[in-house]
Amino acid sequence: MRISVLGAGAWGTALAMAAARRHDVLLWARDAGQAQALQRERVNTRYLPDHPWPDGLQATASLAQALAHARDGLFLLGTPMAALRTTLRALPERASAFWLCKGFEAGTGLLGHEIGAQERPQARLGVLSGPSFAQEVAQGRPTALVAAAADTDLAELAVQALHHDQLRLYTSNDVAGVEVGGAVKNVLAIATGVADGLDLGLNARAALITRGLAEMSRLGLAMGARAETFMGLTGMGDLVLTATGDLSRNRRVGLMLAQGLALPEVLARLGHVAEGVYSAATVAQRARELGVDMPIASAVQALLDGRLAPREAVSRLMQRDAKPEWGV
């Protein structure tokens, strides 16, 4: 199969490497210098150093070439959420594509499938998500992902592209559920990073993860998702990974904020996108519109906006009235 991966960050590169073990894969980097270096060095020194490329992977800075390459194959969109709309707009009208980004679009508050319906209504589109640090996939360590699409044949195409010994693909048709899980877990990982950075303990972390999962599920159900999706890889699975794994950029944002660093300094030190920073406001916005209570996500947003200091955000959560664990 011919596959083009658009976006040469850590995750786009890791999946391009995985797919290239069995397919003809072209990785598009928007920066010509970066594309030349990738092609020459056959390793992504900036985002995934120490992981040499398989023979089946080539790089280009020509978007036209990348679009032609997978015209009858599969596109994997590896840009951050902020660039998903423009990337979708560049695709052929009837392309088959999965995006890899996790978040809500800042400003509009839309999920990927809602942007896809606006920009490429005739294309076959889906989302690939699940608990997956790029570095571990590049190392060939076992990982499970979910390919979610309304079109079952499209989900099967993702399986053909990526399923192999170390990378296990499950399929789903709950696109909204998979996307809500991926977007909200990033915001919650900032919260557990703050709690761990303040040394609040393992009890606090378990409480944040569990109550965060309840928030994620409430929002998802209000948006038409299915409850079981939040118990799966793209819900609980990705939340546990991101909230506890120190490879997570979102968790690291929380850890650094707890040390008292200002957000611009945190982002400069990170050097990668941390989608929770950009999705927190839109999670809160969608929750407000739908009348969904999301106190942890709201506290993270207040922290990122500079309205609360890390310890104040924690106090705000602890001072809430007692209530039943389930129900209103």
Ligand X SMILES: O=P(O)(O)OC[C@H](O)CO
Ligand Y SMILES: NC(=O)c1ccc[n+]([C@@H]2O[C@H](COP(=O)([O-])OP(=O)(O)OC[C@H]3O[C@@H](n4cnc5c(N)ncnc54)[C@H](O)[C@@H]3O)[C@@H](O)[C@H]2O)c1
Q: Among residues 73, 78, 126, 310, which is the contact residue for ligand Y, using CB under 6 A? A: 78
Q: In terms of CB distance, is 76 or 313 closer to ligand Y?
A: 76
Residue 80 as a binder of ligand Y (CB under 6 A): the answer is yes
Kindly list the distances between the CA atom of residue 83 and the CA atoms of 77, 219, 303, in Å, as whole numbers in the listed order. 9, 24, 25
Q: Among residues 3, 10, 88, 255, which is the contact residue for ligand Y, using CB under 6 A? A: 10
CA-to-CA distance for 232 and 130, rounded, in angstroms? 9
Residue 84 as a binder of ligand X (CB under 6 A): the answer is no
Residue 204 as a binder of ligand Y (CB under 6 A): the answer is no
Binding pattern for the stretch 190-229 against ligand X, x by CB under 6 A and - elsewhere: ----------------------------------------
E runs forming strands in 174-237 = none
- The residues carrying an active-site annotation are 185
Q: In terms of CB distance, is 68 or 309 closer to ligand Y?
A: 68
Which strands make up the sheet holding 143-149, listed edge to edge? 57-60, 24-28, 2-6, 74-77, 96-99, 124-129, 143-149, 167-172
| Position 46, amino acid | R
User: Does 273 appear as a known binding residue?
Assistant: yes
Tokens coding 32: 């010509």
CA-to-CA distance for 158 and 161, rounded, in angstroms? 5
Residue 138 as a binder of ligand X (CB under 6 A): the answer is no
Lookup result for tokens 């980097």: 29
- Window contacting ligand Y (CB under 6 A); options: 3-11, 89-97, 166-174, 278-286: 3-11
- Beta strands 143-149; 124-129: pairing state: antiparallel
Site residues (vs ligand Y, CB under 6 A): 7-12, 30, 47, 78-81, 83, 86, 100-103, 132-134, 272-273, 275
Site residues (vs ligand X, CB under 6 A): 102, 131-133, 186, 189, 238, 241-242, 248-250, 274
